[in-house]
Amino acid sequence: MLHTARYDDTSYRDRKRYAWLLSLVVPCTVAVGPTLMLWTGEPLALWTPVAFFYLVAPLLDWLLGVDQSNPPESAVPALERDRYYRRITYLLVPVLWAAFIFSTWFVATQPLPWHGVLAMVLTTGTVGGFCINLGHELGHKNSRLERWLAKLVLAPTAYGHFFIEHNRGHHRDVATPADPASSRMGESIYRFVLREMPGALRRAWALEKDRLAREHLPLLSWHNEILQPALITLLLWTALALWLGPAVLLFLLVASFWANFQLTSANYVEHYGLLRTQDASGRYEPCQPHHSWNSNHLFSNWALFHLQRHSDHHAHPLRRYQSLRHFEDVPQLPIGYFGMFTLAYFPPLWRRVMDPRLLAMVGRDATRLNIDPRHRALVVRRYGLRDAAQPAG
């Protein structure tokens, strides 16, 4: 039942309470292109969702502006207990599965030109990115149900190892050179993906192997939390291939790569160039709010469960999306994630926009930057940075 909640003595009202329902609607845009194509007979209509995600969504962020409001701390316990918010995430799991299966069915059953197939790959992959985002929200929780729902929603795009890699790897190593999921200054997204995707898989496998060894459990068994979602992926893709023909496997592979690249895009944006400092012993300082880029743009935060309030997420990973807070004096992105992804795909524009913001955060001190070692000398010269030897990582 939908209703307006009041919390504690503050009678707090969450003004964004019903806006979170947008997260259920946005993935349904996967059906807009096919519907328009069947109505008009024009395959170019399949590009409508792509235009929405990469052009209209940034425009909506700009038009709607930002919201820096936080719930009062006295209201947070009741806000976190309110099951309305988690029911939205539960309901989104079958919505995303349906969107993924629908798009696969459409491509397999309709005669499409190559550009129509490409549009469906990008649309389906972007919706797959929402799968990973939801898996991120659910996978951080202690509830057995939510953790299994995380594995279930990560399965369509074959990225189940994210459940291990992100929680136990990225959150430990974030904003250090050791983290394959933290981008470096001077590193384009196209170089980053070559380090991030294989590095994340290797780290996830190593972490899970160590856990199973400590618990005296076999590596190749149902206890392996990487193999659990992988088996769901295998069952889903096999069922789709038997239903629609083996040719759909190529579509699934390419669309899933684009979905995984959406995660790469988020990782690239979230910690670009930011660095935790080391003490004399080589130990890194704890992750602080200034080690993440943030955005308070309304539309993308509604669609992505406040993922862009990233500093609070790293400080309190168990905190639910409706309670995540804005912090003052933390790195701020000029627009929401949808616009930042588009910007990242054009490295010269990315550097022109983001490098000055990054340098302003660190006072032009190269020792406070996570710089691509291949380009360190060039970056230091280009921006006239102060540099000194950094303790080995």
For the residues 19-23, what does the mean pLDDT come to?
94
Model pLDDT, residue 77: 93
Query: For the range 39-45, what are the long-range contacts, defined as Cβ-Cβ under 8 Å and sequence gap of 24 or more?
Result: 43/112, 43/113, 43/115, 43/116, 43/119, 44/115, 44/116
Q: State how many domains the chain has.
A: 1
* Region 151-170 average pLDDT: 97
pLDDT in tens, 72-91: 999 999 999 999 999 999 99
Average pLDDT over residues 227-243: 98
Determine the pLDDT at residue 211. Answer: 98
> 185: which strand partners?
371
What does the alpha-carbon distance between residue 72 and residue 162 come to, in Å, rounded to a whole number?
32
Q: Predicted confidence band at 4 (pLDDT cuts at 50, 70, 90)?
A: very low
pLDDT of 10: 52
Tell me the pLDDT band of 13, cut-offs 50, 70 and 90.
confident
pLDDT at 7: 38
Domain membership of residue 393 (yes or no) is: no
Give the tens place of pLDDT for each residue, 343-366: 999 999 999 999 999 999 998 899
| pLDDT for position 8 | 39
The candidate with the shortest Cα–Cα distance to 360, out of 389, 334, 393, 324, is 334
Is residue 392 included in any domain, yes or no?
no
> Residue 167: inside a domain, yes or no?
yes
**pLDDT for 374 beyond 60:** yes
Two tokens, residue 299: 């539309």
In a domain, 3, yes or no: no
Least confident stretch, 162-171, 276-285, 326-335: 276-285
Q: Exposed, middle or buried by CB within 10 Å (0-12, 13-18, 19+), for 78?
A: middle
Residue 153: the pLDDT is 98
Q: Is residue 144 part of a domain?
A: yes
- DSSP string over 306-372: TTT-HHHHHH-TTS-GGG----TTS-B-SS-HHHHHHHHTSHHHHHHHHHHHHHHHHTTBGGGB-B-
pLDDT band at 3 (very low <50, low <70, confident <90, very high): very low
Over the stretch 112-137, which tens digit does the pLDDT of each residue have? Answer: 999 999 999 999 999 999 999 999 99
In a domain, 1, yes or no: no
- Among 4-13, 128-137, 172-181, 193-202, which stretch is predicted with the lowest mean pLDDT? 4-13
pLDDT at 279: 87
* Residues 189-206 pLDDT 10s: 999 999 999 999 999 999
Position 357, amino acid: R
- In terms of Cα–Cα distance, which of 121, 98, 82, 374 is closest to 257? 121
Q: Which domain holds residue 19?
A: 8-383
Lowest mean pLDDT across 260-264, 270-274, 334-338, 388-392: 388-392
Note the pLDDT of residue 12: 83
- Structural domain contains residue 390: no
- pLDDT at position 101 over 60: yes
Q: What is the largest CA-CA distance in the chain?
A: 67
Mean pLDDT, rounded, of the chain: 94
